[in-house]
Each structure stands twice: as C-alpha cells, then as structure tokens.
Structure 1
Amino acid sequence: MLRLFLCVIALLCQAVYADVQNLTQQIHLKYPQLHLTQIANTPIQHLYSAQLDGQVVYLDESAEYLFTGAILRLKDQKNITQALSQKSSSLWSMLPLQDAIQIVKGTGQHQIAVFSDPNCPYCQQFERELSRLNNVTVYLFMYPLRTQSVKLTKQVWCSPNASYTWQKLMQQGIYPTATTHCEQPIERNLALGHRLGFDGTPTIIFANGEKNIGLLSATQIQDFWQQHGL
C-alpha cells in the first residue's frame, strides 16, 4: 500500500513538472521575445505564475493568455500575488541607481525611485508632493517619453548640480542652460523603462520592489511606508 502511495505521488510530481516544462516550451516557441522567468504552478488548477521584469504575472495552460493583478484566497484573505512577489527578487535590485539623480532630505531613511519626464504635468505635480516628504532619499531617473524632453534631460544631467537644476526646472520652471556634451544615462534610462514596461510617468518604485504608475500624494507614500515598514 505504501509503495502504491509513493508511486502515485511520484507520478503526480512528474505530471506537474511536465506541465510547467510544456508551458515553458510553448512560451519560448510562440513568443521568443517574451522574457518570462520562474514559471511555476499556483494553488489554482491550470493557472501558472511567472516573473516578467520583476512583476508577478499569470498564464493559462495553453500559453494564450497573460494577465496581471492580485489574487486573494477568500477563506483567509491571503494575497497570493504578494506572497509570490516576496519570493522573487525585488524590482528595486534591478535599478542601476548610479544612473539616477540622488536627492536626499533629512536623514534619507526612506527610499523611493521615480521615473519622471519634465514635460509631464503629473510629474510636476508629483514634485510638489515629494517636497512635502521628510527623511527621504529619492533616486530620480529622468525618463523622457516625450521627444521634446530628451535634450532637456541631458542638459539637466550635464549641469554642475543636477539635483538642484532638476528641482528648479520642475518646481519653478527655470530651464537649464548647460551643454548636452557629457556622459549621461538618458538612453539607458529609456531602454530600462521600456524593458520594465513603464509606459507612463511618474512611475514610482518603493524599496520593497512594489511599483505604482501614476500620481501619488505625500500622504499616500507615507502610509505605504508605515504599512510595509519602510
């Protein structure tokens, strides 16, 4: 009886592994440019999880549909997506912080990264919210999605004091006059943001790897820090 039980368990494990392996092969065959990693089973039958640029996504077994969002288990209100996110590497660790303008206020205890376009009205509003935060380190990735912002961001980076120049530009509308002839990361920032799927600004990444695309208030950011112990 015990031998039969062990055989059944072994067969089930092989079947699960075969399903994941088959799905992985299908993805690579159908969508070779889609860089999915960590494909695995979920507690939901015929539903699989994966990592796409630091974010948890879900796939059906036919490899035809991919979707994102939180999955809650009703009986205990457990956030399955959050649990999977905690097991994966943090989006924060993927950020090349040396390509960002570093702005420190107070102790700099709290950390956030922001992808921002100087000609984005919501980014300008967000700068006002950032000014209301204390004890924060902001890693500002200039991310010129608008064509007219490319030269401007390069001028900011090439200024003698990039953080001061950026804040003057965003808060007072004072444009930089520096040349664009210096080593700068703007093209790398654009490539990184596109690779991570950042299709809007401001995009905010917290130190625990969670992200938000769109405007947040200073109060919302502070509440997030408190809720997650950041």
Structure 2
Amino acid sequence: MMKLKQFAALAALALAAGAAMAQTAQETAIRKAIEPRLGDGAKIDSIGKTPYGGLYEVRVGGDIFYTDAKGDFLFIGRIVDTKTFQDQTKARLDEINKIKFADLPLDSALKMVKGNGKRVIAVFEDPNCGYCKRFRQTLNEMDNVTVYTFMYNILSEDSSAKSRNIWCSADRAKAWDEWMLKGKQPDAAPANCSTPNDKILALGQKMKVTGTPTIFFTDGTRIPGAVDQKGLEAKLASIK
C-alpha cells in the first residue's frame, strides 16, 4: 500500500513537472514570436496563460496586452467579465502596478494637511500641467486629507526651474498652491539651494509614472490622470 501511495505521489509530481515544462515552452515560443516585433528595444517582462478564452497575458513594463497560443495575434484592450461586469484588465493592472506607499520618500515631497489629515494620498504633478491645476482645485475643496506632492518635471523645459523656485521658498506648500491655483510666480531660488528634482524624476520613471497628475493611495493603487471630488472621495472611502 505504501509503495502504491509513493508511486501515485511520484506520478503526480511528474505530471506537474511536465505541465510546467510545456507551459514554459509555450511562453518561450510566444516571446520569440512577439518580442522582435515590439520595436524600440522593448522587452517582455512576463507571459502567462489567463483563465479566459485561452489567451495569454503579455506584460511589458506597466502595461499588459493579450495574444493567442502561437503569438500570431495581439489583442489590445480591456477584458470584462460579462457576469459581474468587472474589468479584469484594470484589476490586473492595479495588481502589477501596486507600490509600497510607506517606501515613498515623503521628505522629498510638498506636504499639505487639511482638517484632521487622516486620509493620505501622494500625487505626482508638473508645474506646467493644466490637469494638475484642475486637480489642485479639487483638493482645495476637500477636507480631512493629507497630500504629499512630488514635483515631477516632464512637460516643459522650464518645469524644473519652476519646481526649484517653489522648493526653495520659505513655505513650499503655499508657494505651490499659489502657482497652481492663482498663477503667482514664486521668487527666484538662491544659487546655493539644492532640490530633489533629479531624485523625483528617477523615482517616477522607476514607478512607471508616464503622465501627470498620477495619484497614489495608501493601499498601493494609483489613478493616472485627474479625478473629480466625487470620484476621489469614493476611492478614499474604499480603502480599509
């Protein structure tokens, strides 16, 4: 009886190993078929079979798309569960793009506290970003929130200079709000004032922040782009 059980266990292990090898071979074939066609030195980070329609998920950086078992076709878009209407693609993107909020270098951000400040977000903004200015107005109308702003200079040649002037102001958060909400230019920064501009640019690139504003929440998820007050309140309320 013992030998029979041992044989069954070994057989199960062999089947699992065989399936894993077949899966790896399939993923290798898909990579070989697709990666050269992506261009610009793009590299596939991972390939995995999905539970829907025999499709394979292909992850490149912070993005995902889908392909068939041979890598002959690419499917770019959203997969939605017709029973629950859940956006499976969004859920997966949220998962792979999660961050550890506690690891953010908050000492390199501007800090604004409103009310009790219990609800916390971090946002990457460019001083020349129109959508950021609109989102700043939304934040101005909210209460009981702490906002850490990382000045992420990606839109214009003078973005870094504006961020430097704001960082070197006596009241950084006030200078930022006055610029974003009122268009009031801060005083020129003294020559000996250093900033975290380069550090924040590298951080944003590492976190695959491709546009501003990008909002991060304490559960590690993000929202790319501006969101209205109703949407932001709903998101904050959903975080346990």
Distance 1:176 1:16 in 2: 58
- Work out the CA distance in 2 between the residues paired with 1:99 and 1:39: 36
Q: Which residue of 2 aligns with 1:204?
A: 215
Opposite residue 12 of structure 1, the aligned amino acid is A
**Structure 1 stretches of 4+ moved >6 Å:** 25-32
Structure 2 residue aligned with 1:73: 81
Number of corresponding residues: 225
Identity %: 29
Q: 1:36 to 1:104 in 2, by over 3 A?
A: farther
**TM-score when scaled to structure 2?**
0.74
Q: Does 1:147 align with 2:151?
A: no
Following superposition, the deviation at residue 63 of structure 1 comes to 8.6
Cα displacement (A) at 1:151:
0.6
Q: Secondary structure at the match of 2:178?
A: helix
The structure-2 alpha-carbon separation of the partners of 1:172 and 1:127, relative to structure 1 and needing over 3 Å to count, comes to same
* TM-score, with length taken from structure 1: 0.77
Q: Distance in 1 between matches of 2:191 and 2:234?
A: 39
What runs of 5+ residues in structure 2 fail to find an aligned partner?
1-6
> In structure 2, the residue corresponding to 1:107 is in which secondary structure?
coil
**In the TM superposition, what whole-angstrom CA distance separates every residue of 1:123-157 from its partner, at most 9, and x where no partner exists?**
22221110111111211111222112221101111
- Map 1:112-127 onto structure 2 (within 5 A): 112-127=121-136
Partner secondary structure for residue 137 of structure 1: strand
In 2, the alpha carbon distance for the partners of 1:221 and 1:110 equals: 11
Q: Does 1:104 align with 2:113?
A: yes
**Per-residue displacement from partner, 1:133-187 (whole Å, max 9, x unpaired)?**
1111211111222112221101111222211221222223222113253231212
Answer yes or no: is the 8 Å Cα contact 1:92–1:205 preserved in 2.
Answer: no
Of residues 70-79 and 31-40 in structure 1, the stretch that sits farther from structure 2 once superposed is 31-40
Match of 2:4 in 1: none
Secondary structure of the residue that 1:205 maps to in structure 2?
A: strand
| Alignment CA distance shift 1:73-1:49 (3 Å) | farther
Code of the residue aligned with 1:189 in structure 2: it is I
Is 2:239 the partner of 1:229? yes
Give the gaps of 5 or more residues in structure 1.
none
